[in-house]
Amino acid sequence: MDGGVDLLIPVKMLHAAKSRLLGALDGGARDPRLHSSLVIALALDTATAAREAVGVRRVHVLTADSTTAAAVRADGFSVVTDHHDAGLNAALRHGSEWLRNHVGADRIGALQADLPALTALELGAAIAAAGQSRGFCPDRQGTGTTFLLAARGEALDPRFGVGSARRHREAGAVELRGSWPTLRCDVDTAADLGEAASLGLGPRTAELFERADQVGARRPARRGA
Ligand SMILES: Nc1nc2c(ncn2[C@@H]2O[C@H](COP(=O)(O)OP(=O)(O)OP(=O)(O)O)[C@@H](O)[C@H]2O)c(=O)[nH]1
Ligand SMILES: C=C(OP(=O)(O)O)C(=O)O
């Protein structure tokens, strides 16, 4: 029986996360508390859309960070503790084994935590497109990976990092090729934030930028604006 995908969303320690976005909310002042709230907002918008997607059984945030864990638990997400913060692929291998051993997960996926424009429709379409295969979705540049889905009963075998799209392809994952701009739009830079704003930011991220705007910081510039 098809029980749906248990999805891991990895978030590293807040002081180290999304370093290229440091200062994005405060005109470069780089307030660490504001930065932490941005990292958490990105993850919550991603996780909230993912939870609504057809084919998803449960969303688990994978983190060693206690502030992140508390914030996502408050919104009803499960937390898988990454004790080591030993790098993304090691964390995902640990998370994948934990889900197989502790919650009986038989189909596991990994979704990047920085997809603030994600819609449930697009993630559901990508899961459907994968069928029973191991699949991955490249980012909008075509080189990275925003979503990796194991075949049923198999471990995740993640190969994230620079050039991960090629590595996932070479390792036998099927490239999921639909036109899913919100699933492909991970945000590493201010320019990426502008792209996500053009697609429509999720409510947590949008609210942070609304508030920042009121105190004079710039909103992410929309494409073509
Ligand atoms: N749980 C966990 N998540 C990780 C770890 N390393 C990276 N991640 C997460 O994996 C995703 C991609 O990580 P990176 O590309 O290394 O870093 P980033 O935080 O997106 O951004 P930069 O600091 O700007 O490189 C992000 O959501 C990270 O929070 C880890 O060791 N443990
Ligand atoms: C880790 C990856 O992405 P990013 O560095 O954009 O978060 C990846 O695409 O494999």
Q: What is the CATH number of the domain that holds 19?
A: 3.90.550.10
89 lines ligand 2 (CB under 6 A): no
In angstroms, the CA 102 to CA 119 distance is 29
Tell whether 225 is covered by a domain: no
| Domain total of the chain | 1
Q: How many residues does the chain have?
A: 225
Domain assignment present for 219 = no
Probe ligand 2: pick from 139, 140, 192, max atoms within 8 Å of CB? 139
Q: Is residue 220 part of a domain?
A: no
> Has residue 23 been placed in a domain?
yes
Residue 113 belongs to some domain of the structure: yes
Q: Whose CA is nearest to atom 20 of ligand 1?
A: 18
Domain hosting residue 57, numbered range: 5-214
**169, 186, 189, 192: residue to mutate for ligand 2 pocket, most atoms within 8 A of CB:** 186
Question: Ligand 2 mean position to 203 CA, how many Å?
Answer: 23
Classify burial at 18, counting beta carbons within 10 Å of its beta carbon; exposed 0-12, middle 13-18, buried 19 or more.
buried
Q: How far is the centre of ligand 2, averaged over its atoms, from the C-alpha of 5 (Å)?
A: 21
222 within some domain: no
Q: How far is the CA of 35 from the centre of ligand 1 (A)?
A: 14
Binding region for phosphoenolpyruvate: 145, 161, 164
Within-domain flag for 224: no
pLDDT tens for the chain, residues 1 to 225: 468 999 999 999 999 999 999 998 888 889 999 999 999 999 999 999 999 999 999 999 999 999 999 999 999 999 999 987 789 999 999 999 999 999 999 999 999 999 999 999 999 999 999 999 999 999 999 999 999 999 999 999 999 999 999 999 999 999 999 999 999 999 999 999 999 999 999 999 999 998 887 665 556 766 655
Residue 223 forms part of a structural domain: no
Does the Cβ of 164 fall within 6 Å of ligand 2?
yes
Q: Tell me the pTM.
A: 0.95
136's CB contacts (< 8 A; 6+ apart) are 145, 147, 148, 149, 165, 168, 169, 173, 174, 175, 176
